[in-house]
């Protein structure tokens, strides 16, 4: 047996343990809680969803020939507050203690192996009735592209926020709503992602307007401009500007999605695009997808560079847990970067 076989066996063992724990969860996890819903006041009962969310992700990189592990332990709370005249606002708190064993894959904002990561952590206050205008304050996804209407938090499936904007979610405020048949959100945020950093005066101004996301044909246009904070740099920022468009087209159980954006990165012109084909089971118990993502960079003092990656993945949803797989293959990479294949498996359960 080779040396590399032992990490693989350990990985499979960890996943098997997660599946066993997930299957062992009771059909109604609320039986662990008192009739009053445990930690929450009785007046919170209505329109409240709360779950404990546990997952483990195993990654193998061909470029480094190493296995990596990422663990998540968190809570997911969603509460709609209502009054006599209608909804007052929506509170969403998704925070996760996140463990990354290997330093080479830790994001810059990590201050150790365990770090508390804010995903969606905000209150959306209703300024006008019927959802025409709301004020969102807290930590939320940058309103741009497909990510604005499709929630990928906690899943392997992702879109282009990381490579395109530099952060996926940020601290700040936005105006959002549905007005005359159009969904919109415009925001101003700190520009430093998970933590609030002021060195270098980072910021992101962004916005998207599009057709309602519940339709079979959805499209939108977006724009952003900002100075993005670079963690562990002593206050350096990267200037980015983007304008873009996105579309979703659903026919029966199939979906065809795409987005494209163009702009500048520290004065160099750049573009990013994505196309995805997905298929969802009639029962909704599984979905599979294939994505092609490309990025171009045109430095002023050197030839154009291109990078493209193919992603293929699937997700199975069961009563209390889900299991996901994804393989990515670099078709091309920027100068100086080695092409990589990344294999990822994730087990997740909520109760």
Sorted by where each begins, the domain ranges of the chain are 5-350
- Which pLDDT score, from 0 to 100, does residue 181 have? 86
CA distance 126 to 133: 6
- Which pLDDT score, from 0 to 100, does residue 39 have? 63
CA distance 315 to 124: 30
What is the three-class DSSP state of 277? strand
pTM listed for this prediction: 0.86
Residue that is written with structure tokens 């998540």 in the block: 72
Tens digits of pLDDT across the chain (351 residues): 444 443 444 444 454 444 444 444 433 333 334 444 456 676 677 889 999 999 999 999 998 899 999 999 999 999 999 988 889 999 999 999 999 987 777 888 887 789 999 999 999 999 999 999 999 999 999 999 999 999 898 999 999 888 889 899 999 999 999 998 899 999 999 999 999 999 999 999 999 999 999 999 999 999 999 999 998 887 899 999 999 999 999 999 999 999 999 999 998 999 999 999 999 999 989 999 999 999 999 988 888 999 999 999 999 999 888 999 999 999 999 887 888 999 999 999 998
Q: Write 297-305 long-range contacts (CB < 8 A, 24+).
A: 297/265, 297/268, 297/269, 297/270, 297/334, 298/268, 298/269, 298/270, 299/268, 300/267, 300/268, 305/334, 305/335
- Which pLDDT score, from 0 to 100, does residue 27 have? 37
- What CATH code is assigned to 5-350? 2.40.160.10
- Which pLDDT score, from 0 to 100, does residue 86 have? 86
């Amino acid at each position: 047996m080779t040396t590399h076989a032992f990490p693989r066996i350990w990985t499979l063992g960890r996943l098997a343990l997660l599946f066993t724990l997930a299957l062992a969860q009771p059909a109604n996890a609320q039986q662990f809680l008192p009739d009053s819903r445990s930690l929450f006041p009785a007046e919170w009962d209505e329109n409240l969803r709360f779950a404990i969310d546990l997952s483990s992700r195993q990654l193998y990189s061909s470029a480094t020939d190493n296995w990596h592990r990422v663990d998540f332990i968190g809570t997911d709370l969603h509460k709609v507050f209502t009054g006599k005249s209608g909804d007052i606002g929506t509170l969403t708190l998704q925070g996760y203690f996140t463990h990354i064993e290997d330093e080479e894959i830790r994001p810059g904002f990590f201050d150790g192996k365990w770090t508390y990561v804010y995903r969606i952590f905000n209150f959306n206050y209703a300024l006008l009735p019927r959802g025409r205008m709301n004020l969102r304050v807290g930590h939320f996804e940058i309103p741009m592209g497909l990510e604005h209407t499709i929630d990928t938090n906690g899943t392997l499936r992702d879109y282009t926020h990381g490579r395109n904007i530099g952060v996926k979610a940020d601290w700040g405020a936005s105006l959002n709503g549905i007005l005359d048949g159009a969904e919109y959100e415009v925001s101003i945020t700190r520009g430093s992602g998970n933590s609030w950093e002021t060195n270098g005066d980072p910021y992101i101004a962004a916005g998207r307007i599009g057709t309602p996301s519940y339709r079979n044909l959805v499209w939108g246009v977006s724009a952003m401009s900002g100075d993005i904070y670079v963690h562990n740099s002593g206050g350096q920022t990267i200037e980015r500007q983007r304008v873009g468009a996105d579309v979703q087209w659903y026919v029966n159980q199939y979906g065809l999605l795409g987005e494209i954006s163009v702009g500048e990165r520290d004065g160099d012109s750049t573009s990013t695009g994505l196309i995805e084909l997905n298929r969802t089971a009639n029962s909704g118990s599984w979905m599979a997808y294939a994505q092609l993502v490309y990025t171009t960079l045109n430095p002023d003092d050197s030839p154009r560079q291109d990078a493209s990656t193919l992603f293929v993945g699937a997700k199975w949803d069961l009563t209390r847990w889900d299991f996901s797989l994804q393989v990515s293959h670099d078709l091309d990479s920027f100068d100086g970067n080695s092409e990589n294949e990344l294999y990822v498996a994730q087990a997740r359960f909520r109760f």
